[in-house]
Amino acid sequence: MKIEEHSLFIRALEKLRPLIESTPVEDLMIESSEERHAKAPTLSAEQTYHHHVFWYAMNMQKAFSRLGHTTAYVKDFPRPGSYLRHGVTQYDWVQYHYHVYMISIVGLYDIALKLTNAVLQLGVDEKQVNKSTVEDNLWVKQFRVSESLRTLRQTASHVKLPRNLFLHGGDLLKLDELGKLDIICIANRLGDDYPTDAIKSQFKPAIDKLVGKMSNEISSLESQVINLFDKLLPIYDHHASTFETVGQHKGP
């Protein structure tokens, strides 16, 4: 199952559909964010709840979409000769996209915390959302959502250190599986001794192996997030039904 196929994602979208469809297209096309906000309708408490839940569910879906893109980029190196003229070797290309992959993986846990905060209506300010305020929250533990968050955090932990070293110190992770590719690419950059197409062909098996490893990890992470969605769904349904009950009581 994909994130966008999960009932939590679908139900939150359906709750917002009337609001989305009632928004004029010309308002969505306004370039200024301030003007767009000025024209945005005032949301009810119910609409605000569904909007927050869908926002983070959608961000999670986008994160997995980006992860899928990284494997596609790593697997292929288009126009190697053209990129080399700009000083970009195949190793540079793979390394760059692998770092995007690491950043995206670590971000999954942060999105999961914010989604949990939204679904359970914990009221934690977004800037204060972290392990202690959400994963360790007593309500989150009571509903056994903490187990899913902990599993996701632990799975992503192996890339957190190299990701932090890259973001905060500029240190690039050396891809041990492609050490020879790095050396050959350096020689190619200096002397053009190795045809770029030949390098691409020679290292295709190693690249495919790396992509396979990445794809398996993405699949495992998506299964863990689906498990989190499964645990959040009944809580979301409960809050949604509460809003509906209150609305019925306020009727004429």
Mean pLDDT of 16-25: 73
Around Cβ 241, how many Cβ atoms within 10 Å?
A: 10
Which pTM was predicted? Answer: 0.85
What does the alpha-carbon distance between residue 157 and residue 71 come to, in Å, rounded to a whole number?
20
Which pLDDT score, from 0 to 100, does residue 81 have?
A: 79
Whether 140 shows a pLDDT value over 50: the answer reads: yes
Short-list 75, 114, 119, CA closest to 239: 119
Give residue-wise pLDDT tens across range 199-227.
Answer: 888 888 889 999 999 999 999 999 999 99
Q: Which of 19-33, 76-90, 99-113 has the lowest mean pLDDT?
A: 19-33
Mean of per-residue pLDDT scores for the chain: 87
Contact 1, 226 (CB under 8 A): yes
